[in-house]
Structure 1
Amino acid sequence: MFSEFAYRIFDESIKKYHEKNDVSQPFENPYPIDEIGHLLYRKNWIDTVQWHYEDIIRDPNIDPSEALVLKRKIDASNQDRTDLVEYIDSFFLKKYQSVDVKEEATINTESPAWAIDRLSILALKIYHMDEEANRKDASEEHLIKCRQKLNVLLEQRKDLSLAIDQLLSDIESGRKYMKVYKQMKMYNDEELNPVLRGTQ
């Protein structure tokens, strides 16, 4: 199943990042550039680094100038994340381009890649909640609450994985069809953001 394949790559990326646990560490992709695994690994690495950017920027004692630099990095990371989602959807569009779509076929509320995006984030939640559920310096109350939350996340992983695999199966059989809209982010565009074009 594709969801299991993707989750395994996400877990590999997360564990590799935490060997150094440093947002500035160099990135190396172990998967060939012409394989979907390459996109999945890169996608999750972006998510993992941004997860830790978000932790750092919430430091109440962070220097304002450092926070601004970090905010810019988060903005760039969000754009990279969106780009990777679109690349992954392009993979599926190409894979299923010859499918004979049934007359009664319906469209899904989100594309396969955006569902896979949620699975990548969920993998990060599970990894970090598992850490919290096993912290040696935490109270028993904390551990119990985190184990309960972890169980919910694991159930969510099961449901989301099933939904992804069902969606891909439906697309492959022609029961559903893909229609992908490019993300039209306005705040980074000098022509669309009034602050950037100096008219506000």
Structure 2
Amino acid sequence: MISEIANRIFDRVIADYHVHDQIDHPIDNPYEGSTLEHLLYLKCWIDTAQWHMEDVVRNPDIEPREGLYWKRRIDRQNQERTDTVEYIDSYYLQQFAHVTPLSDATINTESPAWAIDRLSILALKIYHMAVEAERTDVSHAHQESCQAKLNILLEQRKDLSQSIDELLAAIAEGKKYMKVYKQMKMYNDPTLNPVLYGGKK
């Protein structure tokens, strides 16, 4: 099941990142470049670095210039995240290119890759909520609250994992079909963002 593979890779990425716990530490992707596993590792590494960028920029004492620097880095990182999701969807489009949808096949509300994107973010939430639940410098109430949230996150991961596996199986059987819309983000495009091309809003 792809969800089992993805969850295992995402947990590995987060563990690998926290060996050094540095946003700019180089990625050491252990999977061959042409594989889905390579894309999954890359996707979660991008998410993990962005998670920590988001922490940094929320420092109430951050200098405005540094805050702007991190905001722009987050924008670039988010574009890389979106691009990687679309690479994963391209993988699946190719994977299912031979499948002829049934006459009553339906479309899903999101593509497989965007569901996998949610799974990657869930892995990060689970890791960091577990850290909070295990802290010894906080009240017992804090620990209990975080453990309760962690239990919900783990249930979410189980449900989402099952849904992803069922979606991919349904596509393979022709019961559902993929139709991927590129995100067409405008804010990073100098030809589409009025502020960047000098036009009026």
Bucket of the pairwise TM-score, normalised by the shorter protein: over 0.9
Name 1:137's counterpart in structure 2.
137
The structural deviation recorded for 1:28 is 1.2
Q: After TM superposition, list the pairs within 5 Å mapping 1:41-190 onto structure 2.
A: 41-190=41-190
- The residue correspondences of 1:189-200 to structure 2 (distance < 5 A) are 189-200=189-200
- Counterpart secondary structure, 1:196: helix
Q: How many residues align?
A: 200
Paired residue for 2:7? 7
Deviation of residue 177 (structure 1)? 0.2
Please list every run of 5 or more consecutive structure 1 residues that lacks an aligned counterpart in the other structure. Answer: none
C-alpha distance in structure 2 between counterparts of 1:95 and 1:190, whole Å: 34
**Residue type of the alignment partner of 1:132:** E
Shift of 1:106: 0.2
Kindly, what percent of the aligned residue pairs are identical? 61
Letter in 2 for 1:166: E
Distance in 2 (CA, whole Å) between partners of 1:198 and 1:109 is: 36
Task: Please give the alpha-carbon distance, in whole angstroms, between the structure 1 residues aligned to 2:40 and 2:138.
Answer: 34
C-alpha RMSD of the superposition: 0.7
**After the TM superposition, which of the residue ranges 186-195 and 80-89 deviates more from structure 2?**
186-195
Structure 2: stretches of 5+ with no match in the other structure: none
Give 1:191 deviation, angstroms: 2.0
Paired with 1:55 and 1:22, the residues of 2 have a C-alpha distance of 12
Mapped partners of 2:24, 2:190: distance in 1: 29
Residue deviations 1:157-193 (CA, integer Å, cap 9, x gap)? 0100010000000000000000001111111122211
Amino acid at match of 2:58: R
Q: Classify the secondary structure of the residue corresponding to 1:70.
A: helix
